[in-house]
Amino acid sequence: MIAQVAWFKLTGKRLLRCSPLHNHYLFAGEHEMKIVVRFWISSALLAIASLKIR
């Protein structure tokens, strides 16, 4: 929310079309299943990265 407001004040344009983030992708025309799979993959990669850091 803070980034959205700051970006709007600087540029006059919205950073995201809608919040939460998955709705932004829906409004951009992405299929819902593709969005879900991408979030699963990114979650798995971040989990693996956090285990590697430890």
Domain limits of the chain? 2-53
Reduce the DSSP state of residue 54 to 3 states and report it.
coil
Instruction: Write the pLDDT tens digit of every residue in 7-48.
Output: 889 999 888 888 788 888 888 888 999 989 999 999 999 999
Say how far apart CA 45 and CA 16 lie, in whole Å: 24
What does the pLDDT read at residue 39?
93
Q: 10 Å Cβ neighbour count for 39?
A: 13
Reduce the DSSP state of residue 31 to 3 states and report it.
coil
What does the pLDDT read at residue 3?
85
Position with higher pLDDT, 3 vs 44: 44
> For residue 5, what are the CA distances in angstroms to 10, 14, 28, 44?
9, 8, 20, 30
What does the pLDDT read at residue 45?
97
